[in-house]
Chains A and B, each alone.
Chain A
Amino acid sequence: MNWTTIRKTPASGELAPNPVDAAPVSWETARAELEGLPGGGLNIAHEAVDRQVRAGRGEVIALRWLGKNGERRTFSYAELARLSNRFANGLNRLGIRRGDRVCVLAGRLPELYITALGALKVGAVFCPLFSAFGPEPVRVRLAKSQARVLVTTSLLYERKVREQRCALPDLEHVLLTDSGAEPGVHAFHALLDAESDQFAIPFTAPDDWALLHFTSGTTGSPKGALHVHEAVVAHRLTGRRVLDLHPGDVYWCTADPGWVTGVSYGIIAPLTNGATLVVDEAEFDARRWYAILEREQVKVWYTAPTAIRMLMKAGVELARGHDLSALRFAASVGEPLHPEGVVWGLETLGQPFHDTWWQTETGAIMIANTRAQDIRPGSMGRPLPGIEAAIVRRRPEGGVDLLEPGAEGELALRVGWPSLFRGYLDDEERYRHCFTDGWYLSGDLATRDADGYYWFLGRADDVIKTAGHLIGPFEIESVLLEHPAVAEAGMIGKPDAFAGQIIKAFVALKPGYAASDALRKELIGFSRIRLGPAVAPRELEFVADLPKTRSGKIMRRLLRARELGLPVGDLSALENSAE
């Protein structure tokens, strides 16, 4: 069906300057709005906290933390500045230098925010790891990042790190948020308590590394996308222009800081805009979420399609019991939001969800439905001012052809915005492969309509978006292949009403092993132990063998087409058709 455009008018904006009327901001202007370090240079943590304190806003609440058991703690900008100063001094004492990697493996705890800001202050590179990763993804990322420091909890350390320390020679210091004190393991809070709360940020250049986010491709191990301090120009500007963040706004970003959204928009964008950040430690719970929106008087909300679909399932009655009138702007990210979700927001919360599009590599929102323009439900929106997007087709000999409106192709962005990633750690070739003719090639397939709205179609590769998390097949298939019964494994994203897609594995067994329900469960369990619940397959099916190309690559597309009953297309490249 056709969805009606949700119209915006200047009158619908209550704050000045009304974004509908505001002139586009150039990157140069946005850069000039940053303060910079007192002695020169640029540092994200300075712009996020120290600057707010210097401007006399130290007593404004920066962080409102809601514990899963009902605890509640607040941190003013001044407190966050002091705590991150203490942590920065502690990192210095541990010998952490500019460019060293500092990882966090934790749920949404206050210590995570202190670590991020403290690490940035010493010029280290902050690298968050999703706490629902199993030991294998954690080890791979800690090894690849060459992390010297890991901040985590005693539970996660025991479950996912301790036994692997011998394989992580670079990991010198583990800091536990809730205990500590044994060789190589310290107590996070003892470290903080021993240090001064004064710290002068040393010089960091705009193009110094600041953030490391792991992401996945179809092949090979996870890629560490590097972002620099200058990315803060885009974080701050998009926070204001897309999320409509103003000083003092209560803002809730439900994304976990283990992924890029939870850092770019769960830490940096709100703090650099002087907002009050709400952080909920608990897992999704519809009633709890409505209570938070109401009680905390959330004005701006950034959440994800999986959560929106679960709220829709819980029914409008649950929402009706809450006063959500404080909510001024709602946005979504992680995967395309279906038009029903956009409209449901308007009908149930009083605000439509504004879908936004960006990637780990782009560092900040690139294409969005903003407060300043009409929403076409189901669309990604339009490129932000300063972002040039195009739909392209790669030429076999290199380079791209730009396609006309209505054509389907790959979404590309003209290089030149400040939060564009500056490399994959130790993988120059894969980095170079993302660019051609001055365009960044996103790997996302889309189309553009005559009015410049972009519409997402799918991925050009085999990565899977499940519950908003980007998962590569390689990590899962290689773990399954470690099981003695498994000869071949291929995985696909299977459509799911809530997660968008769930991971389904197809497995061919070695001779001597017979398919059975017990073995199916054993393999799922085996994967869950190593990979964690977010990455492990939720379904697994045995097949005689997997369809492969002549060069031996597993044809996941064919597996997916079969699963969904879609036409399988041209099979001429197939070596064996296991029909």
Chain B
Amino acid sequence: MNAMSQEQIRAMILRVLGDIAPNANTQAINPNVSFHDQIELDSIDFLRLMMSLEKETNVTIFDFDYPKLSTLKGCERYLTERLATA
């Protein structure tokens, strides 16, 4: 999965998000606002999001890094960096 482009990473995140919170209009998500404030993701949803992203990318997301992934921008940045160094 190392060869994912920025666009692929974003599409993958939005797909996973759309599975957990299908009511969210993923195209309209503000990348800088937390999922919780924007589409009411609760802590169980968020945990499912983290675990799904791990499964999709084969990247280990450390629990202490979770806050870095609270926004779409944060998820993209984190996964891009981790995939690059993997």
Q: Do A and B bind each other?
A: yes
Do the beta carbons of A533 and B18 come within 8 Å of each other? no
Residues of B within 8 A of A529 (CB): 23
The answer to whether the Cβ of A550 comes within 8 Å of any Cβ in the partner chain is no
Distance in angstroms from A504 CB to nearest chain B CB is 13
Do the beta carbons of B36 and A283 come within 8 Å of each other? yes
Q: 8 Å CB contacts to A: which residues of B41-86? A: 41-48, 63-64, 66-67
* Closest B residue by C-beta to A311: B63
Query: Of A132, A306, A318, which is within 8 A of B64 by CB?
Result: A318
Distance in angstroms from A502 CB to nearest chain B CB is 7
Query: Of A313, A467, A499, A525, which is within 8 A of B63 by CB?
Result: A313
For the complex, give the distance between the alpha carbons of A521 and B16 in Å.
12
The answer to whether the Cβ of A553 comes within 8 Å of any Cβ in the partner chain is no
Do the beta carbons of A318 and B63 come within 8 Å of each other? yes
Please judge, given known A-B contacts A315-B63, A318-B64, whether A533 and B41 are in contact too, CB under 8 Å.
Answer: yes
For the complex, give the distance between the alpha carbons of A306 and B45 in Å.
13
Do the beta carbons of A286 and B44 come within 8 Å of each other? no
Q: 8 Å CB contacts to B: which residues of A442-469? A: 466-467
Query: Of B22, B36, B40, B67, which is within 8 A of A524 by CB?
Result: B22
Do the beta carbons of A525 and B40 come within 8 Å of each other? no
Distance in angstroms from B71 CB to nearest chain A CB is 13
The size of the chain A interface, using a CB distance under 8 A, is 30
The answer to whether the Cβ of A563 comes within 8 Å of any Cβ in the partner chain is no
Residues of A within 8 A of B48 (CB): 538
The answer to whether the Cβ of A498 comes within 8 Å of any Cβ in the partner chain is yes
Do the beta carbons of A533 and B45 come within 8 Å of each other? yes
Query: Of B24, B43, B66, B67, which is within 8 A of A467 by CB?
Result: B43
Do the beta carbons of B21 and A525 come within 8 Å of each other? yes
Please judge, given known A-B contacts A525-B21, A528-B23, whether A533 and B42 are in contact too, CB under 8 Å.
Answer: yes
* Closest A residue by C-beta to B37: A155
The answer to whether the Cβ of A522 comes within 8 Å of any Cβ in the partner chain is yes
Query: Of A314, A315, A499, which is within 8 A of B44 by CB?
Result: A499
Residues of A within 8 A of B19 (CB): 521
Residues of B within 8 A of A522 (CB): 22
Residues of A within 8 A of B67 (CB): 285, 287-288
Please judge, given known A-B contacts A521-B18, A528-B22, whether A287 and B42 are in contact too, CB under 8 Å.
Answer: no
On chain B, which size bracket covers the interface? Answer: 20 to 34
Residues of A within 8 A of B22 (CB): 521-522, 524-525, 528
For the complex, give the distance between the alpha carbons of A284 and B67 in Å.
10
The answer to whether the Cβ of A554 comes within 8 Å of any Cβ in the partner chain is no
Residues of A within 8 A of B40 (CB): 132, 528, 532-533
* Closest A residue by C-beta to B48: A538
The answer to whether the Cβ of A310 comes within 8 Å of any Cβ in the partner chain is yes
The answer to whether the Cβ of A81 comes within 8 Å of any Cβ in the partner chain is no
Give the secondary structure class of B's interface: helix
For the complex, give the distance between the alpha carbons of A145 and B21 in Å.
30
Please judge, given known A-B contacts A498-B47, A521-B19, A533-B21, whether A132 and B42 are in contact too, CB under 8 Å.
Answer: yes
Do the beta carbons of A284 and B63 come within 8 Å of each other? no
Do the beta carbons of A502 and B66 come within 8 Å of each other? no
Distance in angstroms from B52 CB to nearest chain A CB is 12
The answer to whether the Cβ of A526 comes within 8 Å of any Cβ in the partner chain is yes
Q: 8 Å CB contacts to B: which residues of A224-272? A: none
The answer to whether the Cβ of A534 comes within 8 Å of any Cβ in the partner chain is yes
Do the beta carbons of A526 and B44 come within 8 Å of each other? no
Residues of A within 8 A of B42 (CB): 132, 283, 467, 533-534
Distance in angstroms from B16 CB to nearest chain A CB is 12
Residues of B within 8 A of A314 (CB): 63-64
Residues of B within 8 A of A498 (CB): 44, 47
* Closest A residue by C-beta to B47: A498
Please judge, given known A-B contacts A521-B18, A529-B23, A533-B21, whether A285 and B66 are in contact too, CB under 8 Å.
Answer: yes
For the complex, give the distance between the alpha carbons of A524 and B22 in Å.
7
Residues of A within 8 A of B20 (CB): 538
Distance in angstroms from A306 CB to nearest chain B CB is 8
Residues of B within 8 A of A467 (CB): 42-44
Do the beta carbons of B66 and A525 come within 8 Å of each other? no
* Closest B residue by C-beta to A527: B23
A interface residues (Cβ-Cβ under 8 A, vs B) = 132, 283-288, 306, 310, 313-315, 318, 466-467, 496, 498-499, 502, 521-522, 524-526, 528-529, 532-534, 538
B interface residues (Cβ-Cβ under 8 A, vs A) = 18-24, 36, 40-48, 63-64, 66-67
**In the complex, given contacts A502-B44, A525-B24, what are 9 additional A-B residue pairs having Cβ atoms less than 8 angstroms apart?**
A283-B46, A287-B64, A306-B43, A467-B43, A498-B47, A521-B22, A522-B22, A538-B45, A538-B48
